[in-house]
A and B are shown apart, each in its own frame.
Chain A
Amino acid sequence: MSAPTLKIEDLKLAFKTHRGLIEVLHGISLHIRKGERVALVGESGSGKSVTARIVLGLLQQMKTARIAGKLEFEGRELDRLSRRDRHQLRGTKMSMIFQDPTSSLNPTYTIGVQFREVLDRAKPGISAADARLKAVEALADVSIHEPERVLDSYAFQLSGGMNQRVMIAMALANNPSLLLADEPGTALDVTVQAQTLRLMSTLAEKHHTAVLFISHNLGVVREFADRVYVIYQGNIVEQGPTGALFDNPRHPYTRALLAAVPRITGGGIPDIAETTDDFFAPLAAHAGFSEKELLA
């Protein structure tokens, strides 16, 4: 079997602060196969965003971050790559979608100009005309009916939902193998969010792009993920296929989480104020879904 798109092994992260070292990730392992949609769910501060940023190599630049563990991307160990090769992956082989689309776009350039910058990553020196053609195509893919008008607009002239589509189109324009979606569109209206997520999911499938889908929203996870990792305070506490995990949660934290969610609305992750010792119980993997078994 071919190497997984992303494999994280025993990833640890701590931040050096004036109050000493604060451990944020205590050795998490996860992987995503080619084209697979994997969700990483957990409460606020559990370590979801930092995980995605480490995969992209953004946190490594921070002087206060202490990172250990192994990251493999398409069978290549990322830490062994030269700085240049590692940097080369960003925006070409991996890309990221952020929470608030409108504030994630540069307010002083039009969408078209920014789109060209993104395309230039995969095809350095791409001409304005070629970039425009490709951008129009990519925007049409996310069901934008007037791509020309959108390209000549600034982010603040477009609706949040429109900007979210633009972000999705940009993120997938270079055909990446991995899309990191960090609570995409949480800043948007719920129905708009669902629409754009559906778009993202369909497109990722079309491009055979694997997705690491970070979310607060269990309802959304249930709809979009093939597999789920539940993270609690820097540890993965449960993993399994989406259906099995939702129907039969095994870890005390996951159970508490699912029990607390209003099933029908399928809203956001509730903050579970009391912490019991069982929340720190060892990882519960559904049969056939431990990292070892899956990667065997």
Chain B
Amino acid sequence: MPSLIRLLAKRLGTSLIVLIGVSLLIFAIARVIPGDPARIALGPNATAEAIAALRDRLHLDQSFLTQYGYFLADLVRGDLGTSLYTNRPVTSDIAQFLPATLELVIIAGLMMVAFGLPLGILSARHRGTFIDHAIRMVTLLGVSAPGFVWAVILMLVFAYFLPLFPIAGRISDSFTIPPVSGFLLIDTLLAGNIRAFGNAAWHIVLPAFALALSGIGQAARLVRSNMVETYDKPYIEMAQSYGFAEKRIARRYAFRPSLIPSLTIIGLDFAAMLGNAFLVEAVFAWPGLSRYGVAVILRKDLNAIVGTVLIMSALFLIVNIVVDLLVSIINPRIRLSQRAS
């Protein structure tokens, strides 16, 4: 569909501009945090010459714009510099820690859709009844606390008092899985190790659910309210007058049109999980980008901070583009106006 490609190109273009803005901003902020990165990196016993040498290597004594220029030149070559914390290229660090975070966020996002949408639909179809009230109560509970609070509660209840799930980590130590994609749920399957896959899945349930809970609540409530509103539209009565099955009306006449306004916000909620994952990861000792992110900020590891933030922003933008595409697929008005313009 050429109109979709045009939309995609437009969004990618604006995203690039946003990313440049973000990089400038974070580049500046990272340099404003008090403390000399070279001194922190080399420790209290470093000689003045060593510090000066490192400052020189990092171009720290040059103007801000010159530094940014060096940074951009490296970035174009796919080089985010070296982390002073791990002494490895920032790109390798990110490649190591990002998959764990992505895996968590993607599973949580799937949970949000898999539980949130059906609950919302059920609630709307049975609006005003006991089912509706019950679902609204439960989902209100879901949105009433942030993910990390749920993480603590779920961990206490389902890992500590009732030891149904593991307390921490991505997989039990007894398994050694060669990393291919970095996603354990994929790599265990690639290794043909079903037991390891089960173990990894078992580990991800609680953290993903904790991360997903408020999203599930939000999605369910949003879908419900938009769908209930849609139930008052004339085309619902028209569908009923033609005797279409109740389920069909719910799905095609009430849910689908109501999804257009819901989807954008659900997408934002999903993107927000990238940020919320930080604290959930901390609670479950999940070896994701969050621990890395916190550590590098505390050490004023300039390259690593900028790299981490840039990757997160890029992911955020990608999610937004995907949502925009989905919306334009289900909303013919947008799709067609795209073609016209």
Contacts and interface: CB of A to CB of B under 8 A. Distances in A.
B241 A96 contact: yes
Given A58-B237, A98-B238, A90 B243 contact: yes
Interface stretch (A31-39, A101-109, A190-198, A214-222): A101-109
Contacts of A99: 234
Contacts of B233: 103
Contacts of A98: 234, 237-238, 241
Contacts of A108: 252, 256-257, 260, 330-332
Contacts of A103: 233-235
B253 interface: yes
Interface size class of B (residues with CB under 8 A): 20 to 34
A180 B237 CA distance: 13
A121 B238 CA distance: 14
Contacts of A96: 238, 241
B149 interface: no
A95 B336 contact: no
Contacts of A87: 243
A58 B241 contact: yes
B244 interface: yes
A107 B242 contact: no
A103 B239 CA distance: 12
Contacts of B332: 107-108, 110, 154
Candidate in A58, A88, A106 with the most chain B CB atoms within 10 angstroms: A106
A157 B336 contact: yes
Interface in B223-271: 233-235, 237-244, 248, 252-253, 256-257, 260
Nearest to A87: B243
A51 interface: no
Interface size class of A (residues with CB under 8 A): 20 to 34
B77 interface: no
A91 interface: yes
B57 interface: no
Given A103-B235, A108-B330, A121 B252 contact: no
B324 to A, nearest CB: 17
A58 B244 CA distance: 12
Nearest to A120: B244
Interface in B285-341: 330-333, 336
Interface string A109-126: 110000001100100000
A193 B330 CA distance: 32
Given A92-B243, A117-B244, A104 B234 contact: yes
A18 B336 CA distance: 46
B242 A104 contact: no
B320 to A, nearest CB: 22
Given A89-B243, A96-B241, A157-B336, A106 B252 contact: yes
A156 B333 contact: yes
A100 interface: yes
Interface in A146-185: 154, 156-157, 180
Contacts of B336: 154, 157
Nearest to A106: B235
A211 interface: no
A56 interface: yes
Interface in A46-69: 56, 58
A121 B253 contact: no
Given A90-B242, A107-B257, A109-B252, 16 more contacts: A56-B241, A58-B240, A87-B243, A90-B241, A91-B244, A95-B242, A96-B238, A99-B234, A104-B238, A105-B235, A106-B239, A106-B253, A106-B256, A107-B333, A154-B333, A154-B336
Interface of B: 233-235, 237-244, 248, 252-253, 256-257, 260, 330-333, 336
11 contacts: A58-B237, A58-B240, A88-B243, A95-B241, A95-B242, A98-B238, A107-B257, A108-B332, A117-B244, A118-B242, A157-B336
